[in-house]
Amino acid sequence: MIIARKKPVEEIITEIDPYDRILILGCNECVTVCEAGGKKEVEILASALTLHYQARGKAKTFGKATLERQCDREYLEEIRGRIHNYDAVLSLACGVGVQFAAETYTATPLLPGVDTVCLGANEERGLWTERCQACGSCVLARTGGICPVSRCAKRVMNGPCGGSANGKCELGPDTDCAWQLIIDRLKALGRLEDYEQVAPIKDWSTDRAGGPRTITREDIQL
């Protein structure tokens, strides 16, 4: 799932300050699950901003809407009839949703209301952790199902590096050493000897290094 984090409200205020009528646009997918940009956050943010501007004697209008997905044109169409009522849209979707909304409504400034952080998992309530960097060429079969690209600070493919101590990354005790996890996992699977296979030099052309990626599935295209 895409994990996003609410932007500091001070930053949002700086973004929206030049505009009088602002539509706060939530998204009902990933950002709802990680509680950064769903219907509830739209309500809370609209109230907070209203109070902020009321206290300063400024009249601003905050509209509210939450789409099923902002990364899908079909759902973005739902605001076509009302977007002309606003000077700007503050999107609480991930960076994909913000861009897709901006592409759909080119005449309206689209402002991000969250910071998109990573592809992660919901470990427990209020805790999300990165699991994937979408490098486009998955090595998990070789690494016991634990990703060295997203979970090692140096993304070493034959690790661990020399800085691992007590199972933790050299960055500090809050970060597991991905390679300790990989070794533990390989051991539990009875496959520790797999560690000695040298990982080939990685082809990063499927990563962002290869430029913006496009996925085409001719078999399902209409």
Partner 1 sequence: MNENGTASSRLARVLRSGQMAVTSECGPPRGSDPSAIREKGRLIKDYVDAVNVTDNQTAMTRMCSLAACIHLKQEGIEPVLQMVTRDRNRVALQSDILGAASFNIPNMLCLSGDHQSFGDCPQGQNVHDLDSMQLVQTACHMRDEGKFLGGDEIKRPPAIFVGAAANPFADPFEIRIPRLAKKIACGAQFIQTQCIYNIDKFKEWMRRACDRGLSEKAFIMAGMTPMKSVGMAKYMKNKVPGMDVPDEIIRRLGSVDKKKQAQEGIEICIEHIQELAQVDGVAGFHIMAIEWEEKVPEIVERAGLFTRPVV
Q: Which is nearer to partner 1, 44 or 140 (CB)?
A: 140
Q: Please state, in angstroms and as integers, the Cα–Cα distance from residue 81 to each residue in 63, 64, 78, 108, following that order.
A: 13, 14, 7, 13
Site for partner 1 contains 198 (CB under 8 A) = yes
Selected binder of partner 1 within 55, 59, 107, 201 (CB under 8 A): 201
CB 60 within 8 A of CB 22: yes
Site for partner 1 contains 159 (CB under 8 A) = yes
Which of these, 68, 67, 100, 82, lies nearest to 22 by C-alpha position? Answer: 82
CB 140 within 8 A of CB 23: no
Stretch that binds partner 1, among 22-30, 117-125, 132-140, 162-170 (CB under 8 A): 162-170
Shortest reach from residue 98's CB to partner 1, in Å = 23
Selected binder of partner 1 within 174, 196, 218, 219 (CB under 8 A): 196
CB 194 within 8 A of CB 186: yes
Which residues of this protein are in contact with partner 1, per CB under 8 A? 153-167, 170-171, 177, 180, 183-184, 187, 192, 195-196, 198-199, 201-202, 204
